[in-house]
Amino acid sequence: NETEADKVFSLDEGGITGVILSEGKYHIFQINEKRPEIPFDAVNRVQDKKSLRDLVDYAYRNLGPKATVVLADRLKDIGFRYSTEAGLSISIGDMIIPAAKEEIIRKAERKVLEIGRQYTEGLITQGEKYNKVVDIWAKATDDVANEMMEAMKVEPLKDSKGEPVLDKKGKPVYEESFNPIYMMADSGARGSKDQMRQLAGMRGLMAKPSGEIIETPISANFREGLSVLQYFISTHGARKGLADTALKTANSGYLTRRLADVAQDCVVMEDDCGTMMGVDVEPLFEGGEVIQRLGERVLGRVAVDDIIDPFTDDVLVKKSDELDEKAAKRIEDAGITTVRIRSVLTCKSRHGVCAKCYGRDLSHGAAVELGQAVGILAAQSIGEPGTQLTMRTFHIGGTASRRVEQADIRARVDGTIKFVDLHVVRNAENQYIVMNRRGGKFTIVSDTGRELESCPVIYGAHITVKDGQKVKGPDPEAGRPGDLLATWDPFTTPIITEVDGTVKFGDIVPGKTMKEKVDPVTGKSSRTIIESKGTEVRPRISVKDKEGKTAKLPKSSGMARYILPIDAVLMVEEGDQVKAGDVIAKLPRATTKTKDITGGLPRVAELFEVRKPKDIAILSEIDGYVSVSKSTKKGKQKVTVTPVDFGEKKEYLVSRGKHINVYEGDYIRAGEPIIGGSAIPQDILNIKGEVALARYLVDEVQEVYRLQGVRINDKHIEVIVRQMMRRVKVVDVGDTDFILEEQVDRGRFEEINSAVKEKGEKPAIAEPLILGITKASLSTDSFISAASFQETTKILTDASISGAVDYLRGLKENVIMGRKIPAGSGLPLYENTEISH
């Protein structure tokens, strides 16, 4: 077992220094003895699944395949021998229920009662109550799970008689636990913290078949046993899991087939295409947390330019070199926040892709070989987890996994706070409130002025620090979290006044545009804006100054007139006095449904098929200042963006009742949303360009998989996106033979254009297109490949009428014609190569 002795150096009789190892480590050390190249630290650590994987990985990368096979074989022998001798078994006594469980549940129940009281007094709405209660129970379940892990982690040391061993102060001495359930989960052999929680903690929140979370959790665990009611609730999840599995396997298989079809002709055709283009990569943040460090994201890719240390000006990585593990670490240590790397998205190869743009082959950790079918590899890497994911709900037995909503920002490092583009006002309660709708953030800078951390702040947040204030990050040893920087209500979006004055309602008519709900339980009323029949009404709150005129907004030409979207809850009465920073209405955020891949698989398909999302965001096409019309036209409101210098202004019509993210006089940048929702991919392509769209698709697909804990390398998704963007639409034919509006393969378009340029004639102009995977498969240059996918008669008829020629460049068309496939050793490049043995 692991003790301090592992780290103690001892002198033997001959005066030679050695290291005392625990028995398990000694066995692994013996395997290793013949391999002095493996560092001693790789052996002298607690060996769990991850560290053993690292050991084998190190051997493969540094000692080659033969040595790795021997190492893996010996590890297997040791593993089987000792797992047989250990004879691990699970008994009901191993499920140790934490002593603090009852107290945690009692505290949560008290909080829930308090929320219930606030609801009965009418301080919060039904939706807010639901969200807060679910949040309290999600946190309580996590706390019980953590307590359970702590309880199982150690056990009292016993002497040969079975009596507890006491230290000098008479307290029991603890050692690391031999609890079989804990060892299985902790070593990574079987099970997870989540499953342990259900055995010995509490089962937690359950989802209804509709996907909503049931407010009351199952406080029992399987060790205590469930009551009839608890069992009944939990059967929802199990049944849904089984039904889903049967239905979703087909769905996932079809996605894989479409992906394989669109990417089948993407093969590594050359070593270097010579492009100077690339994509910028940054660390990945979610809710203020770093999910993926920069080093992880750029590992195995190729640098576009020299990467230079910002402080010493040393070259960390040379241009066109692969970023290996050491280079990735150097980049992180230097504090670099963005790196430009080669990507298949910007690869200039006419057919397939080049090895430099693809980077490392992830299956063996070396540069990708010519002839590797990276398209099929990408399709399988994305499709295969899909089949797992469909069954994922089934694994955890339907317990609702819900992330506790983030409601604050804390400092993660020591440094000085700096406000960047932050517009704040002080409200009646002397709190500083953020008024930025977009773009405002804190940064924490070091004494030398280097930016250590950047935290975007949301509209309506309460700031608890001042500009220039020193803050401290978390101290794990003292158990102290980082300093609090800002807090907000995660369940509602506020509408806040920016000026002092008197409240005046406009078009807020009870029964027509506003519904007064009296809650049957509380007897309190809440006033909510509803959709009205008339097209000319616009419910709004204006803030009047002392003269009774609508007050002017500071820092812009706009007026303090706030249009209220449908479902907004009024927080003020007509005639109330308000101060800048006060909440005049709030918009409840959607009640949480559990996100599992049942929602996720269709989302992945929706992204790859480039379908229009249900709630469409309207994006501004230009940079400029916003003006919002007062009147409505056919029930729609007009938002105009006027550019600063020259160019024509753009007008957007917004359906009534939609929440407009911008206000009169705001400055908006191209690509920022005027109304929230999901952006249409074609809009992103038109406004921000190809690289931005590719980045958006990659990040969105990754988010779905990440929720399920599945890791896919970015390059696989990039390969698919490249195939989706390989066609362009001709908008000006120039002196070429193209037809206006014709969709052409990008490579062919560039080939014909360069031929026209050589003659000194006018080339054609095209705009990029994004096609869904099905459409991209059907519109490929090879009619044989397209016909074998879908709509066979239509494709063959079209091909025969137009006299199409298939040059048999992809894999599918060659398989169908019975030829050697042009990948691996069948690459045309190797055609006349003779091999001598």
pLDDT at 439: 65
pLDDT at 401: 46
Spatial separation of the C-alpha atoms in residues 528 and 630, rounded to whole Å: 22
Mean pLDDT of the chain: 82
Average pLDDT along the chain, 837 residues, taken 10 residues at a time: 43 55 70 66 81 86 85 89 88 90 95 92 84 90 90 85 82 85 87 87 83 85 92 82 76 89 90 89 73 87 88 85 88 84 90 91 87 92 77 40 64 85 81 78 80 79 87 78 84 84 86 77 74 74 86 75 82 87 80 44 86 81 80 75 82 77 75 80 87 89 81 92 91 87 88 89 89 88 88 92 90 91 85 75
Spatial separation of the C-alpha atoms in residues 668 and 414, rounded to whole Å: 33
Give phi and psi for 637, each to the nearest 5. -105, 145
pLDDT at 630: 67
What are the CB-based long-range contacts (under 8 Å, 24+) for 355-361?
A: 355/268, 355/270, 355/271, 355/272, 356/271, 356/272, 356/273, 356/302, 356/320, 357/273, 357/275, 357/302, 358/268, 358/715, 359/300, 359/301, 359/302, 359/322, 359/715, 360/299, 360/300, 360/301, 360/322
CB 809 within 8 A of CB 782: yes
Give phi and psi for 516, each to the nearest 5. -95, 115
Q: Choose the CATH number for 494-588 among 3.40.50.450, 2.40.50.100, 3.40.50.300, 1.20.120.1200.
A: 2.40.50.100
Structure tokens at 119: 């609801």
Is the backbone of residue 616 left (phi > 0), alpha (psi -120 to 50) or beta?
Answer: beta
Spatial separation of the C-alpha atoms in residues 483 and 464, rounded to whole Å: 9
Is the backbone of residue 634 left (phi > 0), alpha (psi -120 to 50) or beta?
Answer: left
Q: Is the CATH number of domain 719-830 3.40.50.1470?
A: no
CA distances from 415 to 216, 286, 458, 484 (A): 42, 22, 22, 13
Structure tokens at 62: 């540094």
pLDDT at 218: 92
Secondary structure letter of residue 299 according to DSSP: T
User: Would you say how long the chain is, in residues?
Assistant: 837
Spatial separation of the C-alpha atoms in residues 831 and 837, rounded to whole Å: 18
Q: At what angle do helices 65-86 and 49-63 cross, to 10 degrees?
A: 160
SS3 assignment, position 102: helix
Amino acid, single-letter form, for residue 69: V
Closest by Cα among 259, 210, 254, 217 to 236: 210
pLDDT at 141: 92
CB 264 within 8 A of CB 257: no
* DSSP strand pairing (525-529 vs 636-642): unpaired
Spatial separation of the C-alpha atoms in residues 38 and 29, rounded to whole Å: 10
Closest by Cα among 831, 307, 431, 389 to 600: 389
Torsion of CA 551, 557, 562, 566, to 10 degrees: 170
CB 301 within 8 A of CB 360: yes
pLDDT digits (tens, 9 = 90+) for 261-280: 999 989 999 999 888 889 98
Instruction: For the chain, give every domain's residue range.
Output: 21-86, 92-202, 268-389, 408-488, 494-588, 719-830
pLDDT at 523: 63
CATH class of 408-488: mainly beta
Report the topology of domain 92-202: Topoisomerase I; Chain A, domain 4 (1.10.132)
pLDDT at 593: 41
Would you tell me how many other CB atoms lie within 10 Å of the CB of residue 419? 18
Reduce the secondary structure of 410-457 to three states and give it as a string: ECCCCEEEEEECCCEEECCCCCEEECCCCCCEEEEECCCCCEEEEEEC
Q: For 547, what's the count of Cα atoms within 13 Å in the CB-facing half-sphere?
A: 4
pLDDT at 5: 41
Q: Which residues pair with 626 in a beta bridge?
A: 641
Token match 């809650």: residue? 519
Q: Report the side by side order of strands in the sheet with 408-410.
A: 408-410, 484-487, 462-463, 432-434, 424-426
Structure tokens at 57: 């990985």
Closest by Cα among 445, 491, 438, 485 to 466: 485
Give phi and psi for 693, each to the nearest 5. -65, -45
pLDDT at 36: 61
Spatial separation of the C-alpha atoms in residues 435 and 427, rounded to whole Å: 11
SS3 assignment, position 650: strand
SS3 assignment, position 775: helix
Q: Which residues pair with 653 in a beta bridge?
A: 638
Spatial separation of the C-alpha atoms in residues 382 and 705, rounded to whole Å: 9
pLDDT at 796: 94
**Could you report how far apart the first and last alpha carbons of the chain are, in Å?**
53
Structure tokens at 581: 């920073």
Tell me whether the CATH fold assigned to 408-488 matches the one assigned to 494-588: yes
